[in-house]
Amino acid sequence: MQEMNIQWYPGHMTKTRRIMEEQLRLVDAVCEILDARIPISSRNPDIDEICGTKPRLIILNRMDMADPTAIQQWTDYFKSRGMAVVKTDCKSRRGINDFVPAVRNLLRDKIKKYEEKGQVGRPIKIMIVGIPNVGKSTFINQVSGRKGAKAENRPGVTRGIQWVTVDNGLLLLDTPGILWPKFEDPQVGIRLAYTGAVKDDILDTEALACHLMEMLWQRYPDALRERYKIDEAPETDGYELLISAGRKRGFLLSRGEIDTERMARVLLEEYRSCKLGRFTLELPPQEA
Ligand code: G4P
């Protein structure tokens, strides 16, 4: 199968990091939004180092698209590492109301200290971070009731610091911190491409679909059997599976060959729109 290596030129990485480190001083906690389908690939591994000892909250977003069992495994994983976890579907608002109580619980000692110092009502401030397209703006809009305004979404963009009120005494930095994925690992780029976080037009759709087919055949074979009526040996490679599915769908070229390009586009579209099911492509280290 064709090797895939997705290149990405984050450009403003150093600047982004500097801005984030400056803004960290202004906040009580960092809230990192992840794509629940790919919690490893949608994460920047430097985040732990950047955040230092700041209290941390993980949002497992797009829960509507991920495997519920895996969501629970990831919740347990992050909790065992001392982070608060909230599961959300920002489209339907599911889980959104859990955010404020989770923040207050995470920061309860700090809030108590503020109160002991007589600073009752001192606002709690949170920075939202995440890679592009993970749902940061939608999340901020949902938790705050803010409408429409999409914060500038390019790495390293600066402007005046502003706060969005979420709840009495809880503020969010209105510009989310843009993290860069760890593209040095080719698998990360490929998984971001499966989910549509990396645009198709820079990719070889067929090669991408072969990789996805193979991975799904290993993890969720029943879903593929049911949708594409394929029944190949467990170790069948992605291209063979694509041909088989294309044949079953009747995607033929004029010479009678299978139109694998078309099948590739269909697979990616059906995966991204969850027509195949809710799949998580990455499990926590101990579960993998
Ligand atoms: P960003 O600021 O991190 O770059 O991401 P943004 O909020 O712009 O969200 C990117 C896309 O992801 C949006 O779709 C948004 O609606 C969608 N999205 C965010 N959270 C969820 C979620 O929990 N579940 C699902 N299914 N989708 C989510 P879009 O295609 O850009 O716009 P639209 O389809 O909402 O019109």
- Number of domain units in the chain: 2
The CA 253 to ligand 1 mean position distance, Å, reads 36
Looking at every residue in the chain, the average pLDDT score rounds to 88
Angle at 172 between CA 170 and CA 177, to 5 degrees: 155
Q: Is the pLDDT of residue 1 over 60?
A: no
From CA 276, how far away is CA 216, in angstroms rounded? 10
Q: Is the pLDDT of residue 13 over 90?
A: no
Least confident among 10-19, 140-149, 220-229, 233-242: 10-19
Least confident among 109-113, 157-161, 192-196: 157-161
Position 186 in a domain: no
Question: Do residues 151 and 211 share a domain?
Answer: no
- DSSP, res 52: T
Question: Do residues 113 and 161 share a domain?
Answer: yes
> What is the distance in angstroms between the CA of the first residue and the CA of the last residue of the chain?
24
For residue 250, CA distances in Å to 214, 256, 258, 261, 263 come to 21, 10, 8, 13, 10
Position 187 in a domain: no
Question: Do residues 84 and 220 share a domain?
Answer: no
Supply the CATH number for residue 148's domain: 3.40.50.300
Paired residues of 157 in beta bridges: none
Least confident among 89-103, 196-210, 218-232: 196-210
Question: Do residues 67 and 130 share a domain?
Answer: yes
Position 199 in a domain: no
For ligand 1, is residue 136 a contact (CB within 6 Å)? yes
Give the distance, in angstroms, between the CA of residue 179 and the centroid of all CA atoms in the same chain: 11
Mapped onto helix, strand or coil, the DSSP state of residue 240 is helix
Q: Nearest-CA neighbor of 28 among 170, 130, 138?
A: 170
- One-letter amino acid at 186 equals P
Position 121 in a domain: yes
- Of 61, 92, 93, 138, the one to substitute when testing ligand 1's pocket (max ligand atoms within 8 A of C-beta) is 138
Instruction: Tell me the pLDDT tens digit for each residue of 41-59.
Output: 999 888 898 899 999 999 9
Q: Is the pLDDT of residue 199 over 90?
A: no
Query: Which ligand 1 atom is the nearest neighbour of the CA of 141?
Result: 7
Query: Which ligand 1 atom is the nearest neighbour of the CA of 176?
Result: 2
Asked if 242 contacts 271 with a C-beta cutoff of 8 angstroms, the reply is no
From CA 90, how far away is CA 133, in angstroms rounded? 12
Position 262 in a domain: yes
Instruction: Indicate the angle between helix axes 205-219 and 238-249, nearest 10 degrees.
Output: 100
Domain range enclosing 124: 11-174
Position 195 in a domain: no
Question: Do residues 121 and 243 share a domain?
Answer: no
For ligand 1, is residue 61 a contact (CB within 6 Å)? yes
Position 163 in a domain: yes
Instruction: Tell me the pLDDT tens digit for each residue of 30-41.
Output: 999 999 999 999
Position 6 in a domain: no
Question: Do residues 145 and 213 share a domain?
Answer: no
In the structure, what pLDDT confidence band is assigned to residue 5 with cuts at 50, 70 and 90?
Answer: low
Question: Do residues 162 and 121 share a domain?
Answer: yes
The CA 77 to ligand 1 mean position distance, Å, reads 25
From CA 59, how far away is CA 43, in angstroms rounded? 11
For ligand 1, is residue 153 a contact (CB within 6 Å)? yes
The CA 1 to ligand 1 mean position distance, Å, reads 32
